Amino acid sequence: MKTAGNAHALDRCDELGAMRRRFEIPRIDGAPAVYLCGHSLGLMPRAARGHVERELARWGSAGVRGHFGTRGWYGYHRQFAAPLAKLTGALRSEVVAMNSLTVNLHLLLASFYRPQARSGRILIEKDAFPSDRYAVASQLAFHGRDPDTDLLELSAADPRQGIQASDLAAALEKHRGEVALVLLPGVQYLSGQVLDIGALTQVAQRHRCRIGFDLAHAIGNTRLQLHEWGPDFAVWCSYKYLNGGPGAIGGCFVHSRHGAPDAVPRLAGWWGHDAERRFLMEHDFDPLPGAEGWQLSNPPVLAMAPLRAALELFMTAGRRRLQKKTRALSAFMTERIAALLGDAVEICTPAAARGAQISLRLRDTGLDAPACAAALLDKRIVVDAREPDVLRLAAVPLYNRFSDIERALHALAAVLR
C-alpha cells in the first residue's frame, strides 16, 4: 500500500515536476492550495501575463499596423495549428483555434446536421453536458423538428462501464435509418469516463450517420488520434486542461475528407474567406480549405495570447510524458481512495477508461457534495461538486503532485468522519 512517504518519493522522481513552477498556484489564507479542479478551470501559466502584455504593447505602439509584420495579428491564429494538431492527433489543416465551444458546435451542426424526411433525428448521451443538449435541441427546432421526439438519448447498458460502442450500435439498430447525426463526449463530464472515439466512430459510419465529439474534457487530458479515428468533426474549449484562461478561445476539428471548399455547406464569415483576397471585399465567398474555412471573424488576440503560453508548456512536456504521468497519478489516487476512504465513497469513473479525472459518489455520509467541497475548501483543498452527491477530482500532470493527492484525500477522510 502506498503511503504519504511514497507520495513524496514519487514527487522527487517526477520528470515533469519542474513544470509546476511555471504555473501560478492559488493561495487561500496566504498558503498554497491543493488544486484538483483542472477539469473545470486550469491554472494560469506564469508566461501568460507576458504574452498578453506584449500584445497590449503592440496595440499601443503600432495601432492598426499591428495586424502585419512579424507575429502580426492577421495570421495570429495560425501559430496554434501545430500544437493543436499534436494534441488532437490531427493534420494541421484539420484544426483551428476560434470562438467558444458552443459557438463552434452550432457552426459545425449547421454543416453536418442535414436532416432528411425520415433521417432527421440526433442522438446524444442521456447525461450530456447541458450546453450540448441546448444546442442540439435548438438545431432540431430550427430545422422544424420536434426535440421531444427527434432528440434521442443514449444510455449505458452497464452504468459501471459507461457508454460502449455496443450501446451505440444497439441504439442505431433500434432506430435504423432515422438518425442523421450522433454527438458524444470524448470524456463524460460527470463520471470522467474516457470514451472510445475510434470504435464509436466506426459504429456510426456503418450506420451512415455523421458523428461529432465534444472534447472539452478530453483535449489536453487523453490521447487523441482524430485523423486516424475519422469522426466528421469535434469541438472543444481551452480553459480546462489546456489552461487557456476563463472563457478562453476554443477550437474545432474537421476531418480532411470534408476540407475542400465545396465538400459541405457552411455558415460564412470573412475570416474564412481566401486570406490572399480578403481585403478585396469580394461579394462571393471563397472559403479557405480545411478547418480555417469555418472561421467567421478575425481572432480576439488578447483572448488568444494566454493559450499560446499554455500550448508552449504542452509542447515542452510532450504527449508521452504527460500520458505517463496521468496514468501514474490516476493509479495513485485510486489506491489511496481505497486505503483512506474505504466504503465512504464509490468511484464512478470506470477503471478501464480513466484520464486525469476521478469522480466519487458519497455514500450515507450525512453530507451532500457541495457541503463536502465547502468543508474541503476550509482546509485549502479545491475540488468540484455536482448535486447531489458527486465530487470530481482531477490530478493534472503539468502542475499536480502525488503529495497533492495524499493531502487532499487525508482531508476528505477527516471531513467524512
pLDDT for position 108: 98
pTM (predicted TM-score): 0.96
Distance between CA 380 and CA 25 in Å, rounded?
12
User: What's the distance, Cα to Cα, between the start and end of the chain in Å?
Assistant: 22
Mind listing the domains of the chain with CATH numbers?
4-32+319-416 (3.90.1150.10), 53-315 (3.40.640.10)
Report strand pairing: 384-386 vs 390-394.
antiparallel
Strands of the sheet with 251-254, listed across from one edge: 95-97, 251-254, 233-236, 210-214, 179-185, 121-125, 151-154
Is the Cβ–Cβ distance between 126 and 115 less than 8 Å? no
What is the mean pLDDT, run by run of 10 residues, along the chain of 417 residues?
A: 74 96 96 97 98 97 92 92 98 98 98 93 97 98 97 95 97 97 98 98 97 98 98 98 97 97 94 92 94 95 96 97 97 96 94 95 87 96 96 98 97 94
pLDDT for position 3: 58
